[in-house]
Amino acid sequence: MQSGAETEKKLKQAFKKLALEEPMEKITIREITDRAGLIRTTFYHHYQDKYDLMEQIIRDEIVNPIGPLVENDMIDEAVILIFSNLMKEKELYSRLAKTSGQNSFEQIAQRCVKDILYHVISQKIQAKIDAKTLKHSWLSPDMVAMYYAQTMTFVVMYWIDKGMPYNPREIAEIYEYIISRSLQDVVDELAEDMG
């Protein structure tokens, strides 16, 4: 009998192969389990549906690896790692990024990034929150995590949509450039470059 980890690995590999062959919307649970050499009920012991499986792949391969870097204030390295991991399976993530609707790749990726950022932000500021009142009470860890998850996901989606034309370091530098300046600074610099 195989372990749960081995079963999950088989299901993930089967899903990834199918995602390279057909749109996400057309992939069925039966196809995944048949490709993995498992029975259909086994799938539901591990995942709710194919979107849950896609989310676990995103968490395991893209988001979770950046956790230790973010926790150790190595944000630039974490951003580069996100883009590097996406590029390792460029065709797969290019196809998954086309998934739209309620369980779109974009929404799932954003939720995964938000979760890890929220966890790290909450840990880092909890002691300070307990010690004093926040300057801006509306500026919660949840709001900050959502903001940065949205900006990161936007850049990821744009990069994927354009065919991943920049290497991970270059796209990380573009992301850093955008988030480290005010809107006014960016507009002024763009006007200067074009003038």
Same domain, 100 and 27: no
Same domain, 92 and 178: yes
Does 9 have pLDDT greater than 80?
yes
Surface-to-core class of residue 61, CB atoms within 10 Å of its CB (0-12 exposed, 13-18 middle, 19+ buried)? middle
Number of folded domains that form the chain: 2
Same domain, 106 and 144: yes
- Tens digit of each residue's pLDDT (9 = 90 or more) over 122-140: 887 765 655 455 566 677 8
Alpha helices in the chain (DSSP H): 4-21, 29-36, 40-46, 50-58, 67-71, 75-88, 90-96, 105-131, 141-161, 168-179, 183-194
Same domain, 86 and 35: no
Q: What is the CATH number of the domain that holds 38?
A: 1.10.10.60
pTM of the prediction? 0.86
Same domain, 25 and 108: no
Residue-range definition of the domain harbouring residue 175: 50-194
In whole numbers, what is the pLDDT of the chain averaged over residues?
Answer: 90
Q: In the predicted model, what is the mean pLDDT of residues 4-25?
A: 95
